[in-house]
Amino acid sequence: MSKIWKKTENKILIILLLFSISIGLWNNFRQLWMQDNGLAPTEISKILSFGTLFCVVCILIFSKYIKLDKIKKFISLALLIKIINLIILFFINNTALNTLINLSIIIDIIIERLIIISIYPLIVTIKKSNNLYSKRKLVEYTGRDLGVLIGGFIIGKTIFGILFNYNLCLLISIIFSIISLIILVNVKIQNIETKTSKENIFKYVFTNKFRLMYIIYYLIGQIAYSTALGLKMLTLTNYLNFSDSAATKYFLAVGILADIIGIICLKKFQPKSDYITISIKFGIRFIGYSLAFLSNNIIVVICAMTWSLLISTSYENVTDAPYINSITNDKQLAYTNLRYMVGSLGESIGTFLCGLMYAQGLKYMFGLSAIFMLLQLTLAYILIYQRKKLKI
């Protein structure tokens, strides 16, 4: 443990792990917590969509005023705000203060996103590699799965005379966030690169066909994923008749397997051809979603969801890392901010569409997602061809 703690990037990953546990525990039950507070699925989708949409504006402000040498202070402040906001949510549970609940949920989504986007630029100033990018993503996913594990173990159970409901899961999530904040405050961040590019990041990206195509590909990918799985907990509990405990165990089992697959793919089974990688990750997902739409069969739907979740953490050192690491360090923070702005916009659009399709029928969520996935696949293949041509 002492060897791990000596490296600054590992300290940051440990903080990310604890924060991700908090996210996994709370986000797993957030939709059900909101439903318990009288919100319908379509209302929930709109609130989540608005939250991710407002992230675009907040990230734009963040990119203008926060520099690399200020990231640690920013993350610390953001964590403190998130903790206070979650405490407010804890105390207004079942109070019918829906306006305040909606506002707090939107703030929570925004702050969570701002913290997550700050992690990798901070790591990059210390060390940059495709494997480290995948490691960072795996730590985040693993932490979320551990959060789901904790929730699945305690939800609905009485321990020491205390019945653990969604609100108590929120309280435990707050505790993990507090621990991550305490560690972050006491970690000394060194070797921070304070030099940033004066070139406008929008001009840098949008005047280059290769970088622009990746941004469009990322936008379409976020729309495709969120259109099918933006309300996945409500889909399992309301449409597929899973209990909250069974749904949690399902997400936990799939999440753990996804992490294992991600690690194996990173270490052992990386295909020699990036075209094969893309076909494995997204091609099979497209086929599954298409079959879910055409058959409208519950088993096919569950299989399509399962594959999508299983492969979610795999091959990111091929699907994203080369494009991100091709950006020079002086533009890394601005580019990461732009990428997350685009991702938030895509997630917002996808979640909104998911809510509309949810009201029409389960198969339409996957059918519409499959259309976006076809476009995503096309762009992915073109990007690989261009990347090899540019020797990136």
pLDDT digits (tens, 9 = 90+) for 310-326: 887 777 666 777 777 77
Query: CA 373 to CA 49: how far, in whole Å?
Result: 20
Least reliable range by pLDDT among 58-72, 277-291, 295-309, 378-392: 58-72
Block residue for tokens 């804890």: 90
CB contact at 8 A, 125 and 5: no
Task: Tell whether 195 is covered by a domain.
Answer: no
Kindly report the average pLDDT of the chain as a whole number.
83
Least reliable range by pLDDT among 6-10, 175-179, 333-337: 6-10
In the prediction, which pLDDT does 151 show?
A: 82
- Whole-model pTM: value is 0.72
In the prediction, which pLDDT does 276 show?
A: 84
In the prediction, which pLDDT does 88 show?
A: 94
Bridge partners for 25 per DSSP: none
Q: Is residue 270 pLDDT above 70, yes or no?
A: no
Q: Is residue 304 pLDDT above 60, yes or no?
A: yes
* Total number of domains constituting the chain: 1
Q: Is residue 196 pLDDT above 60, yes or no?
A: no
Query: CA 244 to CA 234: how far, in whole Å?
Result: 9
Q: How many CA atoms lie within 13 A of 190 on its CB side?
A: 4
Task: Tell whether 96 is covered by a domain.
Answer: yes
* More confident site: 287 or 53: 287
* CATH code: domain of residue 330: 1.20.1250.20
pLDDT digits (tens, 9 = 90+) for 91-149: 999 888 888 999 999 999 989 988 888 877 777 666 666 666 667 777 887 888 888 88
Bridge partners for 158 per DSSP: 163
For the residues 290-296, what does the mean pLDDT come to?
92
DSSP H or E run through 385: helix 362-390
Query: CA 352 to CA 347: how far, in whole Å?
Result: 8
In the prediction, which pLDDT does 190 show?
A: 63
* Close Cβ partners of 159 (under 8 Å, ≥ 6 residues apart): none
Q: Is residue 197 pLDDT above 60, yes or no?
A: no
In the prediction, which pLDDT does 321 show?
A: 73
Task: Tell whether 194 is covered by a domain.
Answer: no
Structural domain boundaries enclosing 274? 2-188+200-390
Task: Tell whether 286 is covered by a domain.
Answer: yes
Q: Is the dihedral of CA 32, 37, 43, 45 positive or negative?
A: negative
- How wide is the angle at C-alpha 141 spanned by C-alphas 139 and 142, nearest 5°? 65
In terms of Cα–Cα distance, which of 200, 225, 330, 344 is closest to 282?
A: 225
Query: CA 125 to CA 252: how far, in whole Å?
Result: 33
Give the SS3 label for residue 352: helix
In the prediction, which pLDDT does 187 show?
A: 78
CB contact at 8 A, 168 and 162: yes
In single-letter form, the type of residue at position 198 comes to K
In terms of Cα–Cα distance, which of 9, 56, 64 is closest to 334?
A: 64
Record the tokens describing residue 364, joined without a space: 């339409």
Q: How many CA atoms lie within 13 A of 335 on its CB side?
A: 25
Task: Tell whether 239 is covered by a domain.
Answer: yes
Q: How far is CA 112 from CA 39, 293, 387, in A?
A: 22, 33, 32
Query: CA 346 to CA 229: how far, in whole Å?
Result: 13
Most confident of 22-26, 59-63, 185-189, 245-249: 22-26
For the residues 26-35, what does the mean pLDDT come to?
87
Query: CA 31 to CA 234: how far, in whole Å?
Result: 7
Give the count of beta carbons closer than 10 Å to the beta carbon of residue 5.
11
Percent of the chain's residues with pLDDT above 70: 88
Task: Tell whether 10 is covered by a domain.
Answer: yes
In the prediction, which pLDDT does 208 show?
A: 83
Q: Is residue 5 pLDDT above 90, yes or no?
A: no
In the prediction, which pLDDT does 205 show?
A: 82
pLDDT confidence band for 2 (50 / 70 / 90): low
Inter-axis angle of helices 41-65 and 8-36, nearest 10: 150
